[in-house]
Amino acid sequence: MRNKQEWFNKKVAAVPKDVMSEVQLSADIIARIDTLLKEKNMTQRDLARKMGKSDAVVSRWTTGFPNLTLRSIAEISAALGAPLIKVAR
């Protein structure tokens, strides 16, 4: 078991920092969408209908690692009535 953990740790350490940052940002956005949906007692289907999108599109946004555009982020934020991300000043 220890060898597998060491192997995994080496592989993770070899991932470029920008890729790790992208993965973390994607995970954070997915978690934020999920949190807002729960807070508003909405389903993914509710969000899709509110935005005029297909269920499949919203499903892709909330599973895996979507490549969301700023436009998509703004549209989702508007539909949920809360920001998905905040930019530090």
pLDDT in tens, 49-65: 999 999 999 998 888 77
Query: Between the CA of residue 35 and those of 17, 31, 38, 68, what are the distances in Å?
Result: 27, 6, 5, 17
Does the pLDDT of residue 24 top 80, yes or no? Answer: yes
End-to-end CA distance of the chain: 45
Considering the domain boundaries, does residue 85 fall inside one?
no
Considering the domain boundaries, does residue 65 fall inside one?
yes
Domain count within the chain: 1
pLDDT of residue 66: 78
Range of the structural domain that residue 52 is part of: 17-80
pTM of the model: 0.82
Considering the domain boundaries, does residue 2 fall inside one?
no
Considering the domain boundaries, does residue 26 fall inside one?
yes
Considering the domain boundaries, does residue 88 fall inside one?
no
Give the residue, 65 or 8, on which the prediction is more confident: 8
